[in-house]
Amino acid sequence: MAKPTTLAGLDLFEQGDPGYFVKKEPSPFKDMKDFFFACLPEVLDINGDGKLDMLLADKTGVRYYENNIGLQEKTGKDRGW
């Protein structure tokens, strides 16, 4: 779940034990300043590895985050697109 913060970017929280969320550091979204959702985030398994990845759209375009060991920002070049 991404949560808007101040000008520092966005924080990332992952669900731990039932009912608890853990803040992940460093946030993969730390460089997203003055962020706004151009559309709702989409969570899907885009690379077929069984882990949920994330697509976010901001004013610069669509950002893709792959869930390997935590969320890591990827580009179309990384995926061979």
Rounded-to-5 percentages of helix, strand, coil across the chain: 5, 45, 50
**What's the pLDDT at 6?**
45
Note if the pTM is more than 0.75: no
Query: pLDDT digits over 14-66, tens only?
Result: 777 777 888 888 877 777 665 566 677 888 998 899 988 988 877 777 788 88
According to DSSP, the residues that pair with 67 across neighbouring strands are 71
**What's the pLDDT at 42?**
87
Q: Which amino acid is at 19?
A: G
- Per domain, the residue ranges of the chain are 2-79
**What's the pLDDT at 70?**
79
**What's the pLDDT at 5?**
43
